[in-house]
Structure 1
Amino acid sequence: METSIRLNNKKVDIGNLMLNYNYYGVDDTSPTVILEAGYGMGSEVWGDLVSELSTIVNVLVYDRAGIGKSEAGTKPHHSKQVVENLKTLLQIEEIKPPYLLVGHSIGGIHIRQFAYTYPELVSGLILVDSAHEDQNDLMVPHFSDDVQEMYYGQFVVEGGLADFNSSLNQVRSARRPLKDLPVHVLSAGVKDDYHSEKTYQIWMRLQDDLLSLSNNTKQVIAKKSNHFIQNHEPKLIVNSVRDILDQIREEGANE
């Protein structure tokens, strides 16, 4: 099936700022995969994954407020605002649900917040080495002083540390069972340089905790990947999308 690009590199006024996005359409009946990048990263971080996914499913990739070609605006950059910005974009551009949400790092927090806020619009979650609401409490204190300084010093691009902490607190407060929603947890199997053995073990325990988000979860350890699974093993993300699409279609056939 060849990709039909309906909208490409478009900016839309969502009322308080201009958001930049790309949309790749397969057909009118396909769910739309929405890719939510990590902190401070634009849509280009997904690389060739977009073109591969867009041969099988509708894909939306965008720059959050203050990133890439999107305006920063004057509102906060925490998860609740990210969700409302995205929801408004989808409504204005008439990109209909269901949405299969894929989130990397802090993007995983944002897509969970979306699913808690608008569960009726979401057909699945794919968490790509996702951030966890308890990482600042359980993991970061065990970083070396240099790594802690680097960690906290990174929050200058997309809002600040207060927005990041707000996002973690918001998803912690919103957390509740997602029933039978398909949730795939893709976790890095290669330890990044900033991790010690102890902090990596804590990170993996936090990844394991994400398996309790619904009654329909699956974990994949990306054995050749560090935090950026989309760069090292993008096929794992494609496979998860295919698996969840198959579930959606099977459930639809049985209704």
Structure 2
Amino acid sequence: MSKVYVITGANRGIGLALATELSSQGHKVIATARTPETATKLEALRNVSIVQAEMSDLKSLPRVIADIAALAPEGIDELWNNAGASRNAGLVSDIDFVKYHEELAINVVAPGAITQGLLPLLRKKQTRKIIFISSVMGSGQIASSIIGNVLKGVPIPVTEDFLRMSSYCSSKSALTMQAIGWNGALFKEGFVVIPIHPGWVRTDLTLPEATLSVEESVAGLLKTVGDAKPVADLVLLNYNGETLPW
């Protein structure tokens, strides 16, 4: 049966791959893009409607929510809070806190606002799934261990530079925490809330050493989300369904 999906940040990378796969399955996809006029690959997909959204502009989000609602009066099955940004690199003592503010707006506040605004439409359906694309980089357990090792002289792993990505890491930690809050608010209504790490995926924002293609990541994400049921004790999931420390 065809479903209605909302995917934020779908003009490239994981978001585009999600929209591509879901539209090919015949589902209706409402995708947000910062600059729809340049989202040519997204625009070429069948069953996809594009809504312009700049996630750092929080005052514009009521309009974004209204635009999405106009395209899905029958309701929304799944909301994929995928849009994210990494605006800072370097030690926390050296980062630009204006950019950090923007990063938190995009990675933490905007997903919450979009979720809150679309709740009436999510309640119209029985699927009731809300996905937050988080990251293992938000794991306090892993960050503390790796930074501790670095301070003892162990080289920084190329895959997990928690020391120089502190603002991004803290934003993803906050996003996972927010997901736990949403689960607490919506669990009794049968909602499935999923904070999930997409894996280390090869995109234009990552290193070429990244181990997963976007197609591999999306296949895992869709299976894990498809299998997910409401749970009282929320955990951070990996794209392949494994539980990650947080």
Which is strand-richer, 1 or 2?
1
TM over 0.5: no
- Which TM-score band applies after superposition, normalised by the shorter structure? 0.3 to 0.5
Which is helix-richer, 1 or 2?
2
